[in-house]
Amino acid sequence: MTVARALALGIAALILGSALLLAQRAETWALAPADLGALRFTLTQAGLSAAISALLAVPLARALHRRRFAGRGALISLMAAPFALPFVVAVLGLLTIFGRSGPVNMILAALGLPAFSIYGLHGVVMANVFFNLPLATRILLHGWQGIPAERFRLAQSLSMPPAAQFRHLELPMLLAQLPGIALVVFLVCLTSFAISLTLGGGPKASTLELSIYQALRFDFDLGRAALLASLQFVLCALVTLAAMRVSLPAGFGAGLDLRGAAPAPKGWRRGLDIVWILLAAAYLLAPLLAALIKGVPGLSDLPPGTLPALARSVAVALGSALLCACTALVLALAAARGPARGVELAAMLPLSASGLVLGAGLFIAIRPFAPPETLALPITLLVNALLALPFLFRLLLPPARQIHQDYSRLTDSLGLSPTTRLRRITLPLLARPLFYGAGLAAALSMGDLGVITLFAGSQGATLPLLVQQLIGAYRIEQAAAVALILVTASFTLFTLLDRLGNRHADP
Amino acid sequence: MKTTLLAAGLFALATSAMAETPVLTVLTYDSFIPEWGPGPLIEAGFEATCACDLQFVAAGDGAAILARLKLEGAGTDVDVVLGLDTSLTADATATGLFAPVQPAPNSLPVAFADPNFLPFDWGWFAMVYDNTKLTTPPTSFEELAASDLKILIQDPRSSTPGLGLVMWVKAAYGERAPEIWEALADNIVTVTPGWTEAYSMFLSGEADMVLSYTTSPAYHLIAEADVSKSAALFSEGHYLQIEVAGKLAASDAPALADAFLTYLASDAAQGVLITTNWMYPAKTPQAGLPAGFETLIQPATSLLFAPAEAESLRAGAIAEWQAALSK
């Protein structure tokens, strides 16, 4: 517990400290009139994106859980890929499908229907769902897999109708998981600014993060930046506390068999499941494939720095995945043992941190001791681990709670040492979400462009930075090729870690 | 983790070992330093003359460079700043961090007299289009606004070209600027955070025109042998972006900094900038411009606010833009 507390304090200090460091050098303290409008739009798009991602994840995760089909494993793995895409590449992928000259509009035109424009609030939400629905689905899938299979068999032998099965078995799990999922998606969207601006269609779609950007860059108004960053922290804390209040542990009791397939009802339910899976696969994979195919022609003409950048990106990704997994494990186990609001808040806090404020804060903090650009990679590693922490924590917390509830009395009565308990019970049961989460952290870290841009010297470009620099020099084809390499590497890392988790899940 | 820390440590050691040769630290923007950018050639060219070590440090873009300088204040290790533009120089001068520089002859289309900064390249902003799809481009903002052409622009709050466009409309139309923006609102597909998003979206067919530079078609022509991109000539005139370099007053290598600025104005460096930054050189080299540049449009009128005026107009012009497009 003390280790967890210290970690939580450290995280809070790092994140809140960055805003404090800016505040310390502030000369004026005022928000701009446009900031309120930005707040309103931020909340609207984040709220809608969270609700839609969480709701769509329910039928999708259930369909994926109870149906078996060729390519199921690949589909589930591929669903982590949007996370690894650099933002520009993902948007171009979405536009290839939904854009002005994409297939959707071609079909609409052929049918004589009015053209679809992706630009506007709906486009922002669509992009957010593209990024976050896979994550929401995967967390829920873990939830479904966490319902002991013998409960479903018992329900069937009692001839429980599907509706009653849903109410007694699935609903409690959903109630335990959905608030956390909605919370994560909401917080991810809270700090997005490139998506909102690019697809929002104009300055109406301004977010708080854009205001921070403007305050720090053009106006150099540190007070306003710190105020806006604090506003994001307060929002994050409020939403996290609210989610804690409504989220309940599922309470099935310990199960023997977590690996059996759930019953797969026939008839229209089967048809509906197939429709869900096909729709989701098309929505998530088509833009992804579109983005990747563009990279193929440029593969023969890669810029010279690609391989070193790849090595750097992989090193940073693995490092931050390891750091993040250890931290999240300690925090989740502590939070599972009893009410630990502070720990839970600290674990969610990184999501509300503005990348720019965090970067600027670290810059101020480090500069007296070393030239910041010499530390670009360690700092990127640390910040990426921090930014992925909330996802891993959310993945680990529900199963950790379940384990605590199911096994703590048994292990206490057996007098198992903490190490034995960790090795024999906790880790095997948590292996799947833990490794999946580590893979996710690695993918997130691979795709992240945020902090490195503040610190990069003439050496040390990572792949996302290379993509950005290539587009900046009109080299779109090479940029697409590097993006293809980035996604392939990141997907490989993710799949390896995910597989490792499934292997270690055997008790 | 351990190896990363070790690597960082070794790197720090390596840097201090090199400290015996004098080091010139140049703060510039991101796109200056990659292998294909001007950075490596400029570095090699200057190091051949100076018996020194030129080190580039990069921030995102011009505005990020200035923000970083302000964060660092007088304690900065930076000797030379390369990549501010005339919309930022008033603000930069006001920090008091810059020292006067030796003026050099230039071939800019407007008079330039800023004692603290030396121009190194420049360009006209322009709407770029695909001439195979659009055969009669608009010849003014008013004509563009009256058409149903779709355009992509950048946000003045996060992007230098975005700010350039707002100043362009302000310089061309003055008090009528809000009216022009309202008329343009239905032509604007979306506003992107930076140039990269807008330009790549344009290339993938999301709009008829994109805000860029008159020199953008030169890249497609010279590097890709692609003649399909053109810039539209607007009768109001075109707003200028002049990119400048400056020397920090607190530099511990002022002579080296001066030598670098002199090198930057030389034919060798200017020739490099043309086809790596894809802008016009501040001083046309003896050899002239590369073949292909003669196909670019030549605006008759160049628009540019003086730095102090640009600084005082900026917030109001952005607010007008925002209000008009939020309706």
Q: Is A251 left (phi over 0), alpha (psi -120 to 50) or beta?
A: left
CB count in 10 Å sphere of residue A217: 24
**What is the DSSP annotation of B242-269?**
EEEEEEETT-S-HHHHHHHHHHHTSHHH
With b meaning 16 or more CB within 10 Å and e meaning fewer, what string describes B241-261?
bbbbbbbbebbebeebbbbbb
The shortest CB-CB distance from B72 to any of A305, A367, A473 is to A367
The shortest CB-CB distance from B30 to any of A101, A198, A469 is to A469
B322 contact residues in A (CB cutoff 8 A): 34, 203
CA-to-CA distance for A187 and A46, rounded, in angstroms?
Answer: 7
Suggest the residue from B54, B55, B72, B157 to mutate for an interface test with chain A (most A CBs closer than 10 A): B157
For residue A381 the two structure tokens come to 């590693």
Residues B255 and B220 in one domain: no
Alpha-carbon separation of residue A133 from A72, A126, A186 (angstroms): 17, 10, 12
- pLDDT confidence of A260, banded at 50, 70, 90? low
B2 lies in some domain: no
A458 contact residues in B (CB cutoff 8 A): 33, 39, 55-58
Q: Which residues make beta-bridge pairs with B239?
A: B303
CB count in 10 Å sphere of residue A327: 22
Question: A45 or A239, which is more confident?
Answer: A45
N- to C-terminal Cα separation, chain B:
51
A92 contact residues in B (CB cutoff 8 A): 200-201, 204
- pLDDT confidence of B5, banded at 50, 70, 90? very low
Judged against a pLDDT cut of 90, whether residue A479 lies above it is answered with no
**Residue A204 and residue B325: Cβ atoms within 8 Å?**
yes
**Residue B158 and residue A305: Cβ atoms within 8 Å?**
no
Residues B148 and B282 in one domain: no
Q: Domain containing B274: what range? A: 19-122+241-294
**Region A211-239 average pLDDT:** 83
**Residue A374 and residue B12: Cβ atoms within 8 Å?**
yes
Residues B136 and B278 in one domain: no
| Closest listed residue to residue B163, CA positions, set B308, B317, B279 | B317
CA-to-CA distance for A195 and A199, rounded, in angstroms?
Answer: 6
Residues B245 and B103 in one domain: yes
**Residue B34 and residue A461: Cβ atoms within 8 Å?**
yes
Instruction: Give the count of alpha carbons within 13 A of A296, CB side only.
Output: 6
Residues B166 and B236 in one domain: yes
**Residue A377 and residue B219: Cβ atoms within 8 Å?**
no
pTM: 0.84
The shortest CB-CB distance from B200 to any of A92, A218, A461 is to A92
Judged against a pLDDT cut of 50, whether residue B226 lies above it is answered with yes
What are the tens digits of pLDDT across the range A178-202?
A: 888 898 889 888 877 778 888 888 8
What is the distance in angstroms between the Cα of A108 and the nearest Cα belonging to chain B?
Answer: 16
B3 lies in some domain: no
How many domains is chain B built from? Answer: 2
Residues B83 and B168 in one domain: no
What is the distance in angstroms between the Cα of A154 and the nearest Cα belonging to chain B?
Answer: 48
Q: In chain A, what are the helix, strand and coil shares in percent, each to the nearest 5?
A: 80, 0, 20
| Closest listed residue to residue B187, CA positions, set B238, B131, B128, B141 | B141
B108 lies in some domain: yes
Question: B154 or A247, which is more confident?
Answer: B154
pLDDT of res. A427: 82
The shortest CB-CB distance from B191 to any of A96, A197, A305 is to A197
CA-to-CA distance for B306 and A147, rounded, in angstroms?
Answer: 69
Judged against a pLDDT cut of 50, whether residue A35 lies above it is answered with yes
Suggest the residue from B5, B66, B155 to mutate for an interface test with chain A (most A CBs closer than 10 A): B155
**Residue A303 and residue B203: Cβ atoms within 8 Å?**
no
| Interface ipTM | 0.81
**Residue A474 and residue B278: Cβ atoms within 8 Å?**
yes
- pLDDT confidence of A247, banded at 50, 70, 90? low
Q: Provide the 8-state DSSP code for B232.
A: P
B88 lies in some domain: yes
Judged against a pLDDT cut of 90, whether residue A411 lies above it is answered with no
Judged against a pLDDT cut of 50, whether residue B265 lies above it is answered with yes
What is the distance in angstroms between the Cα of B262 and the nearest Cα belonging to chain A?
Answer: 22
**Residue A476 and residue B203: Cβ atoms within 8 Å?**
yes
Residues B104 and B224 in one domain: no
Q: Is A120 left (phi over 0), alpha (psi -120 to 50) or beta?
A: left
pLDDT of res. B238: 97
Tokens 């650099």 sit at which residue? A86
The shortest CB-CB distance from A34 to any of B5, B59, B322 is to B322
CA-to-CA distance for A53 and A129, rounded, in angstroms?
Answer: 5
pLDDT of res. A289: 87
B3 contact residues in A (CB cutoff 8 A): 315
CATH of the domain at B30: 3.40.190.10
B11 lies in some domain: no
CB count in 10 Å sphere of residue A278: 11
**Region A413-423 average pLDDT:** 79
CA-to-CA distance for A487 and A493, rounded, in angstroms?
Answer: 10
A216 contact residues in B (CB cutoff 8 A): 67
Residues B227 and B154 in one domain: yes
Judged against a pLDDT cut of 70, whether residue A8 lies above it is answered with yes
| Closest listed residue to residue A357, CA positions, set A233, A234, A447 | A233
Suggest the residue from A87, A198, A199 to mutate for an interface test with chain B (most B CBs closer than 10 A): A198
pLDDT of res. B23: 92
pLDDT of res. A156: 79
Class of domain A2-250+266-504: mainly alpha
B142 lies in some domain: yes
B5 contact residues in A (CB cutoff 8 A): 378
Q: Name the residue ranges covered by the structural domains of chain A.
A: 2-250+266-504
Residues B188 and B234 in one domain: yes
Work out whether strand B188-192 and strand B151-154 pair parallel, antiparallel, or are unpaired. Answer: parallel
Residues B236 and B248 in one domain: no
Q: Provide the 8-state DSSP code for A457.
A: B
Residues B116 and B146 in one domain: no
N- to C-terminal Cα separation, chain A:
26
For residue B16, the SS3 value is helix
Query: Which range, A68-82, A126-140, B217-231, has the best average confidence (pLDDT)?
Result: B217-231
Residues B143 and B232 in one domain: yes
- pLDDT confidence of A233, banded at 50, 70, 90? confident
Question: B205 or A337, which is more confident?
Answer: B205
**Region A395-407 average pLDDT:** 83
CA-to-CA distance for A405 and B202, rounded, in angstroms?
Answer: 56
Q: Give percent of chain A above pLDDT 90.
A: 13
